[in-house]
Structure 1
Amino acid sequence: MLSRIGERVAEFTHANQSTQDSPDSHAVISLGHVWVDIMMDVNTIPQAGGFAVSDHTNATVGGSYRVLQAAARMGAPAKHAGIIGTGPWATIVRDALAANGIEHIGQDRLDTDSGFRLVLTDEDRRKTYIATYGAEAQGDDTTFNCVEPATGDVVHISGNTLMDHTAAGVDEFMHHASNDPFGRDFTIVLNPTNTLSLVNDHLLEDLVLARPIWSCNRQEANTLADRLGILRNDEASLTVGGGFDRSMAELCRALGETLRAPLVVRAGSRGAWVRTPGGEVVHVEGYPTKATHTRSAGAPHTGTLCAMLARGWSLIDAVQIANAAASLAIQRSIGGVPSCPSYTDAIALVDASENSR
């Protein structure tokens, strides 16, 4: 689809082989939470007072860590601006960040540990979450005063940071960011969660007015559209033959027009629909793969998107590379968690696909 990809691979490979070691590299800075996920496979979720045995348990670092891990693997310096506590869970978080070359620039809490979540997956692959919030959720309006993006940096904001006291820090950061995206010398990428329906009106208004790049899956996009009172034409989704694609395009168009900001709506192997203000909706093809994971590949997609924007790619090109990275991440999942590939591998998949058409 995009001839620019093949034409620019050699240029970027040569110029950015040592991107992480270059002081001029643009960074990806996340304002999201990082916690530990304890993933447990069970036959069924027990009722109150019941009992269940897990035949597979896996502890992994979750939240915005996986976005930053993807960004680092794509060659962008990655920085975590959230709060990390002190204790066994925080130690796991710090070790994971260090192992992936992710710099922690945020606050440290000495009086409490970082949080964790139990993720129970039953035989029908339905997931149940039980969260214990820790230091990451105990911020205030000063939490992100440490964030001073340089020209060309990409600031990632996750919906998981909008639900607790740390949201005040996000709001304060947005107040200092120009409402004119062309007046900022850095880029904001906002990755909401489906709990966006619970974000308070004032904060949501500030986020919309800042006009970041919104990156959502279909469910998150519909939640945001409902929250903003956007009417969509759902007739396309009821038709046979191409109805899903038309429905996605309509959702992206309607939501994009209201946000007046760049919008990416992901749909797994079907790729993503992209709209920029005043432009038409563009469908960026995905890379079908067999689903072998139990977690979403949204984080590898978002992290790759942020890294590619930091490396100077256009939004459409960045989305295409992110689609490829998400597909490979699913193929290479570890313990049910998609594992983002390297920049070289993602580009190779895009190139191979282009050459086969």
Structure 2
Amino acid sequence: MSARLIQLSGVIIDMIYSVDAVPAPGTEAVVYGSAIAAGGGFNAMVAARRAGLDVDYGGTLGSGAFAGIAEAALKDESIGILRPRLDGQDQGCCTVLIDRDGERSFIASSGADGVVTDADLARIVPGAGDWLLLSGYALHYPGSRDALTRWLQAQAGRGLDLVFDPCPLVAELPAEAVSAALGAAAWVTANAEEARVLTGLSAPVEAACKLAEGRKGGALVRAGAEGCWLALPGGAVSHLPGHKVAAVDTNGAGDAHTGTFIALMAQGWAAAEAARAANISAALSTTRRGPSTAPAWDEVQSVLERAEAPA
């Protein structure tokens, strides 16, 4: 049986507005473009699929108009749905503001994606070679936090290839839930600020080393255009520089990085090479507008081949 990624975190619907600037309180933004699209847990799944990995959605899919958009998007990307739909509750949504510099700001609210029970998780049966991805958002929502925390506590020491992405709300997560996620995760991938919150260490290289301690895999600390720091257990750490591009929209870049990294690791790549390719995927994703803009694999491969070609 081939490896796959199982996404444990929910798909939501992004309502995306391209604005001159995020408005000050009491004012209105000047909008020059808008779109509605699947987002949240969807973005990393898309990146993994485009990098050649089979993907299944293990999160909750509800009912209603937003759930219909999410289901159609999953099917368009050939992503399997592992669980029956939840009746009576639609997917959550996120208002995304993208300013002229390509930076994004979020206001999100959960729906069916934020409802997970013990019985739901019992349906998730990873096979040999499968990887799993969990976002801290799922640990933030009251309707999914407790069941996931119990499930994570039960996975500690079982050797699952679980990747934990703490999310921008990491400082708001309950300590017990964070501890359970860190205890079960083979890999932690976080941006520099999230890594600082988790470790108390401001330097990304030091935070990466701390997050990698005792893991089956290691840790990645992402730093946008600067690339990422890769740390392995035992203190080995390296900086993988970013791929230079003219960014227009950074929404979903971290997810593109994570999905690509998982896909390549699941296909047997060395961690440093997977991280280097993930940097390229994330950078290319910022050159087009939208939340799920991970590039096709041949685009990433082309950049890798040019970098490896003799001068």
Q: How high is the TM-score relative to the length of structure 1? A: 0.79
Residue 117 of structure 2 corresponds to: 140
CA distance in 1, matches of 2:227, 2:30: 37
CA distance in 2, matches of 1:52, 1:328: 27
Q: Does 1:188 align with 2:196?
A: no
Amino acid at match of 2:93: F
SS of residue in 1 equivalent to 2:133: strand
Residue 58 of structure 2 corresponds to: 81
The Cα of 1:289 is off from its aligned counterpart by 1.1
Amino acid at match of 1:196: V
Residue 68 of structure 1 corresponds to: 45
Structure with more relative contact order (C-alpha pairs < 8 Å, separation 6 or more)? 2
SS of residue in 2 equivalent to 1:61: strand
| Structure 1 unmatched ranges of 5 or more | 1-23, 227-231, 235-246
The Cα of 1:166 is off from its aligned counterpart by 1.0
Residue 350 of structure 1 corresponds to: 304
The Cα of 1:63 is off from its aligned counterpart by 0.5
Residue 174 of structure 1 corresponds to: 152
SS of residue in 2 equivalent to 1:28: strand
SS of residue in 2 equivalent to 1:162: helix
The Cα of 1:66 is off from its aligned counterpart by 0.6
Q: Go from structure 1 to structure 2 and tell me whether the alpha carbon gap of 1:107 and 1:172 turns closer, same or farther (over 3 Å shift).
A: farther
Residue deviations 1:111-168 (CA, integer Å, cap 9, x gap):
1111112223456766443333211112233332211110111001111111012122
Q: Which stretch shifts more, 342-351 or 283-292?
A: 342-351
Residue 307 of structure 1 corresponds to: 263
Q: Which stretch shifts more, 38-47 or 253-262?
A: 253-262
- Aligned partner of 1:278 among 234, 250, 259: 234
The Cα of 1:53 is off from its aligned counterpart by 5.5
Residue 77 of structure 2 corresponds to: 100
The Cα of 1:79 is off from its aligned counterpart by 0.7
Matches within 5 A, 1:177-256: 177-179=155-157, 183-184=158-159, 186-226=160-200, 232=201, 247-256=203-212
Q: Which stretch shifts more, 296-305 or 322-331?
A: 322-331
CA distance in 2, matches of 1:107, 1:176: 24
Q: Which stretch shifts more, 338-347 or 150-159?
A: 338-347
Matches within 5 A, 1:253-264: 253-257=209-213, 262-264=218-220
SS of residue in 2 equivalent to 1:142: helix
Residue 229 of structure 1 corresponds to: none
Q: Is the 8 A contact 1:82 1:107 kept in 2?
A: no
The Cα of 1:277 is off from its aligned counterpart by 0.9
SS of residue in 2 equivalent to 1:265: strand
Q: Is the 8 A contact 2:98 2:249 kept in 1?
A: no
Residue 265 of structure 1 corresponds to: 221
Q: Is the 8 A contact 2:103 2:249 kept in 1?
A: no
| Structure 2 unmatched ranges of 5 or more | none
Q: Is the 8 A contact 1:330 1:338 kept in 2?
A: no
Q: Go from structure 1 to structure 2 and tell me whether the alpha carbon gap of 1:269 and 1:92 turns closer, same or farther (over 3 Å shift).
A: same
Amino acid at match of 2:308: E
Q: Go from structure 1 to structure 2 and tell me whether the alpha carbon gap of 1:88 and 1:211 turns closer, same or farther (over 3 Å shift).
A: closer
Q: Is the 8 A contact 1:76 1:307 kept in 2?
A: yes
SS of residue in 2 equivalent to 1:67: helix
CA distance in 2, matches of 1:128, 1:266: 18
- Aligned partner of 2:15 among 24, 38, 53: 38
Residue 9 of structure 1 corresponds to: none
CA distance in 2, matches of 1:292, 1:51: 22
Residue deviations 1:262-293 (CA, integer Å, cap 9, x gap):
11111123221111111321112321111111
Q: Go from structure 1 to structure 2 and tell me whether the alpha carbon gap of 1:110 and 1:254 turns closer, same or farther (over 3 Å shift).
A: closer
Amino acid at match of 2:246: K
Aligned residues: 309
Q: Go from structure 1 to structure 2 and tell me whether the alpha carbon gap of 1:263 and 1:71 turns closer, same or farther (over 3 Å shift).
A: same
The structure whose Rg is larger is: 1
Query: Over aligned residue pairs, what C-alpha RMSD do you find?
Result: 2.3
Q: Go from structure 1 to structure 2 and tell me whether the alpha carbon gap of 1:199 and 1:142 turns closer, same or farther (over 3 Å shift).
A: farther
Q: Does 1:114 align with 2:91?
A: yes
Q: Go from structure 1 to structure 2 and tell me whether the alpha carbon gap of 1:29 and 1:294 turns closer, same or farther (over 3 Å shift).
A: same
Q: How high is the TM-score relative to the length of structure 2? A: 0.90
CA distance in 2, matches of 1:326, 1:128: 18
- Aligned partner of 1:149 among 126, 129, 140: 126
Matches within 5 A, 1:333-348: 333=288, 335-337=289-291, 339-348=293-302
Q: Is the 8 A contact 1:141 1:166 kept in 2?
A: no
Residue deviations 1:155-207 (CA, integer Å, cap 9, x gap):
0111111101212232233233242xxx52x4111111121111112112222
Q: Does 1:28 align with 2:2?
A: no
CA distance in 2, matches of 1:146, 1:76: 21
Q: Is the 8 A contact 2:187 2:216 kept in 1?
A: no
Identity %: 26
Q: Is the 8 A contact 1:328 1:340 kept in 2?
A: yes
SS of residue in 2 equivalent to 1:62: strand
